[in-house]
Structure 1
Amino acid sequence: MEQKGFYRQKINKLFRESSLSQSYKDESEKRVYEAVISSKEYRESEFIFLYMARKDELSVASIINESFKLGKKVLLPRIIPNTNRMDFYFVKPEDFDEKVQIGSYEILEPDDTNEKLIISSIKEKSYIIIPGRCFTKNGKRLGRGKGFYDVFLKQMKMNTKCFLCGVCYDFQIEEDFPTDENDINMDLVLC
């Protein structure tokens, strides 16, 4: 869809033209951290799905660390090369630094010695934190255009009890943009 490309280009241009101050990033990350950690949905979830942020994504490192402290099961994505799919792997605090490496798209990913998630094995509630290029306040999400999260989230929504939380910087919120049948709406968007 050409209109989706327009919004991706708009956000990319904003990132290129603005230099986000460290204090702005820190404040945004703290606000999202506090909202996630204090939410009922997070507290009730055993499985916490997160991501390792790229330079132009809001960092969720503090949520990863807090999830480890609380004994939650933490999972991170690993892209399957030459596809639009990704698998999630369990990561543990004791060997996190040794078992996370630079992978596809220069993103930190769990290596394949971590335990891979089998979606059908999840019986408890899950909280999934998802990056995006832009969101609407009512939950629409626009990713980077490869469909990695769309494919994964569709499987999760069909097979598990999951809560979807989109996270971004406040300038990544749009009034509206087009979506299609493959796009999955968020239950909540935080910035």
Structure 2
Amino acid sequence: MEKNELRKEIRSRKRQFSAEELRVQSLSLISRLLVHPRIEQANTVMLYHSLPDEVDTHTAIDRLAACGKRVLLPVVLDEERMEVREYRDQACLQTGSMNILEPMGRPFQTLEEIDVIVVPGMSFDADGHRLGRGKGYYDRFLQQVPKAYKIGICFDFQKVDYVPSDQYDIPVNEVI
């Protein structure tokens, strides 16, 4: 299956669940994420502010920040680039260009300090290959942080046997 076909298939699978069902499925995934040894040991964690059809990361963001972790969230700059900014609390968020809540403030520059990156995806396979939404934001960003531990997170119905990948696709270290 090619990337665009797989995206269609995953979108179809997502539509089989109500927002409430996805929220309930998110709870166990986020619980597992929050007790992950890499997350517990990390000082700086990059997450994403989830869209309604993604694993709900909103409570994880607040809980990690409350535990004293430096939490970073992506900010889309244009059609090709994103940067990260530090999350402090809900008041620091504004709606960004893709209708995603993003932190205001200055860009976080010391990318080598990022210990763990929680990576969203349309689909993942057991080898850590990831299918994104097709714009390449994460693949370009992940190239800049080769030492960060990358955890893909998705619903079980998004996991497949094989995700097509090419030389520009950056795999994650593991998938929850």
Same fold per superposition (TM over 0.5): yes
1:62 corresponds to which letter in structure 2?
T
Q: Which structure 2 residues correspond to residues 34-53 of structure 1 after superposition, within 5 A?
A: 34-53=31-50
Task: Tell me the C-alpha RMSD between the 2 structures.
Answer: 1.7
Query: 2:12 maps to which residue?
Result: 13
For residues 163 and 86 of structure 2, the distance between their equivalents in structure 1, rounded to whole angstroms, comes to: 34
Question: Aligned partners of 2:23 and 2:51: how far apart in 1?
Answer: 15
Report if aligned partners of 1:119, 1:156 keep a CA contact under 8 Å in 2: no
Name which of 102, 115, 140 aligns with 1:109. Answer: 102
Q: Which residue of 1 aligns with 2:167?
A: 181
- When normalised by structure 1's length, the TM-score is 0.85
Task: List gaps (5 residues or longer) in structure 2.
Answer: none
Number of residues of Structure 1 aligned to a counterpart in Structure 2: 176
For 2:23 and 2:122, locate their aligned partners in 1 and report how far apart those are by CA, in whole Å: 19
Tell me how far 1:74 sits from its aligned partner.
Answer: 0.7
1:148 alignment partner AA: Y
> 1 CA distance for matches of 2:68 and 2:23?
25
Higher mean C-alpha deviation, range 65-74 or range 34-43? 34-43
Q: What secondary structure sits across from 2:28 in the alignment?
A: helix
- 1:1-191 counterparts in 2 under 5 A? 3-16=2-15, 18-20=16-18, 22=20, 24-81=21-78, 83-93=79-89, 96-97=90-91, 99-111=92-104, 114-120=105-111, 122-123=112-113, 126-157=115-146, 161-190=147-176
Structure with higher Rg: it is 1
Q: 1:36-59 CA deviation, whole Å, 9 max, x = no partner?
A: 221211111111101111121111
Structure 1 residue runs of 5 or longer lacking an equivalent are none
Three-state SS of the structure 1 residue aligned to 2:145 is: helix
Matches of 1:39 and 1:54, distance apart in 2: 23
CA distance in 2: counterparts of 1:45 and 1:79, whole angstroms:
24
Q: Percent identity?
A: 30
What's the CA shift string for 1:126-176, capped at 9, x where partnerless? 11111111111221100011000000001111xxx3111111111111110
TM-score calculated relative to the size of structure 2: 0.92
Rounded to whole Å, the distance in 1 between the matches of 2:75 and 2:124 is: 23
- Following superposition, the deviation at residue 21 of structure 1 comes to 5.3
List structure 1 segments (4+ residues) > 6 angstroms apart after TM superposition.
Answer: none
Contact 2:124 2:131 (C-alpha < 8 Å) held by counterparts: yes
